[in-house]
Chain A
Amino acid sequence: MSTLILRTIAPTLTSLMVIYSIVVLLSGHNEPGGGFIGGLIAASAFALYGIACGVGPVRRAIYFHPISIAGFGMLLAALSGLPSLMEGVPYLTGVWWFPKLSKTVELALSTPLFFDIGVWLVVVGSLVSIALALEEKD
């Protein structure tokens, strides 16, 4: 399957897909998208890279074992529910804060954002670990 064309284009394509998946993840609260979809896109990107250039480069590129990434995502999602407890509202209730960067620019940070990043990491980690394990020819 790893033809010359695919091998040449795969790194670029993968980078674009991962960037796009992050865009989808972050814009998901207002536009179509979110952690699940973004995670699926990024997972396909890594799977594609693995098919084109072999599993080794993918494992080196993402550095951590994909299942650890998924585990970290799980932890992040679970922890993102804690700040609401400090505010005295039920677990996982969204807590928002809007730090002002300048007079006109306001940042919207929230616990659901971190929750969604956790979802993204779980989906990416789980699917990539499956795909890479299957792609490995040992």
Chain B
Amino acid sequence: MLITIKYFGQIAEVTRREEESLEFSGSLISELIEQLYKKYTALKNKDFKVAQNQELVTLETVVSGNDIAILPPFAGG
């Protein structure tokens, strides 16, 4: 399926874009991350969380394709 991913902060520095659409044939978030590691090797050294539908998800969550975002450490306040 074609999914859209948003990148923020230092993650967007690595990917050099804030959003992209890519073809994903796996099912879990962990597989999506593996795919991103292949595309952006430097991502392996970064700390991040994944959100789907604006909620944080785990590696075992099934990718629905909606509103996926890669979030670096929070720094509000």
A binds B: no
Q: Which chain A residues have a beta carbon within 8 Å of chain B's beta carbons?
A: none
